[in-house]
Structure 1
Amino acid sequence: MLCLFDLDGTLIDSELGITACIRHALDKLEIPTPADLRDWIGPPLRHSFAPLMDHDETRVEAAVHYYHERFADLGWREYAIYPGIEAMIDGLQANGHQLAIVTSKPHRHAQPIVDALPFGHRFTRLYGPHPSSPHSEKASMIAAALADFGASPRETVMIGDRRFDIEGAVANGVTGVGVLWGFGSRTELEQAGAHALIEHPDLLGALLAA
């Protein structure tokens, strides 16, 4: 089976780095930072910045620039691997599953993180949108993965913590598995059409076997 994994909120807890970069960008533009930034983790940056800037495209692009400025230097290192993830990934590969990452994080920011993960070499491919894209692109990236691996939707599962992951899976007829240790909620994942929800990484192997 082809297993496609989201990155932020699924494999790694990246809240520290992402929120620090958001604050950096808003400080540069002298815009008050919202009290809760957890909902910003997952959606495209432009989607989240736009309402704070009255959808002024120039200011939105400036915010994205400042975010990436800090992320490239410091933010990409500010994360923790969720407990149980490494054992899960090792077990999936040992059981013959093909592994890839499909993330809303631009490829150039995601690649250094994946390269630094102790299990990063187990992923055959990494899919990330172009930095200028205002969209999640999960659906199109999942479609690209299906084509690259020559996999059918019935042989593929998308694992993620936000509705964007599940909606991308649904758009491609792929099984969507929502994880409850990330930044999304049970309600969000269920409403998006998740086929199953898991509360700990060690449950995924048994779910796939079933």
Structure 2
Amino acid sequence: MTTEHSAPAPIVLFDLDGTITDSAPGIHRTFRHALAAVDRPVPGDDVLATIIGPPMRDTFVRLGFDPPTAERAITAYTERYDEQGWAENSVYPGMRDVLRTARELGLRTAVATSKAEPFAARILEHFDLTQYLDFVGGATLDGSRRAKSDVIAHSLRALGVNPGEHDGVPIVMVGDREHDVEGAALWGVKAVFVAWGYGAPAEAEHAWRTVATTGELEEVLRELAR
């Protein structure tokens, strides 16, 4: 007699900012607040367009802040974001349906974001989206886990998967920045680039798929579930 074992369900990891929610208002206002706290000028729009996605600590370093100044900026940013910035946010039209579809298809779902995990969880709970997720993974407040590849590994482990050893389990990372694509590639995970977020078109160069609408993303998920 033989016993059949069903294959593990495919996994979909979702970025948060620029993928599930439009968080630009809160992040930009809080970024300006942090700069004022350390007496630094607000950079041009070309720089502001790049700050959503990468860890904020890395952004301050990229702007040339020395370590003490970067830490003060991070403290000011975190305090303001905790008080009000997190709520200056909205769910992209159609993304609730995408998450619901993923759940109905039997896919395992998690968020993998460079946003601090407590803030990510609060936002998703606020919008009643945690019901569609098996795990919410994010960065640590102290910055010890902030690279996208580390957050992806964190979320995969929470779902019972050893990063880099998927054992045939289909996994995709859905995001809007090159950090999502590159972080996924480090673990052999395919990336689906969403065109409605904050990334430039060139950032999708190495993605497995690019989708322009949430409807197209749902079709990719249906394909994954087959």
Q: Which TM-score applies when normalising by structure 1?
A: 0.92
Whether the 8 Å contact between 1:21 and 1:75 is mirrored in structure 2 is yes
- Report the Cα offset of residue 91 of structure 1: 1.1
Distance in 1 between the 2:34 and 2:55 partners?
15
Whether the 8 Å contact between 1:15 and 1:38 is mirrored in structure 2 is no
SS at match of 2:50: helix
5 Å matches for 1:119-134?
119-133=129-143
Q: 1:196 aligns with which of 209, 218, 221?
A: 209
Indicate how the Cα distance of structure 1 residues 30 and 144 shifts in structure 2: closer, same or farther if over 3 A, else same. closer
Residue matched to 1:98:
108
What letter is aligned with 1:173?
G
* Unmatched tracts of structure 2, length 5 or more: 1-9
Matched, 1:32 2:41: yes
* Unmatched tracts of structure 1, length 5 or more: none
- Report the Cα offset of residue 144 of structure 1: 3.0
Residue matched to 1:56:
66
Distance in 2 between the 1:56 and 1:65 partners?
14
Residue matched to 2:19:
10
Distance in 1 between the 2:116 and 2:128 partners?
21
Q: 1:46 aligns with which of 57, 60, 71?
A: 57
- Say which structure is richer in helix: 1
Q: 2:95 aligns with which of 79, 85, 100?
A: 85
Residue matched to 2:190:
175
How high is the sequence identity, in percent, across the aligned residues?
35
- Which stretches of structure 1, 4 residues or longer, exceed 4 Å deviation after superposition? none
Residue matched to 1:158:
173
How many residues of Structure 1 are paired with residues of Structure 2 in the alignment?
207
Distance in 2 between the 1:50 and 1:145 partners?
26
- Report the Cα offset of residue 162 of structure 1: 0.6
- Aligned CA RMSD, in angstroms, stands at 1.6
Matched, 1:209 2:222: yes
What letter is aligned with 1:172?
W
What letter is aligned with 1:11?
I
Whether the 8 Å contact between 2:109 and 2:133 is mirrored in structure 1 is yes
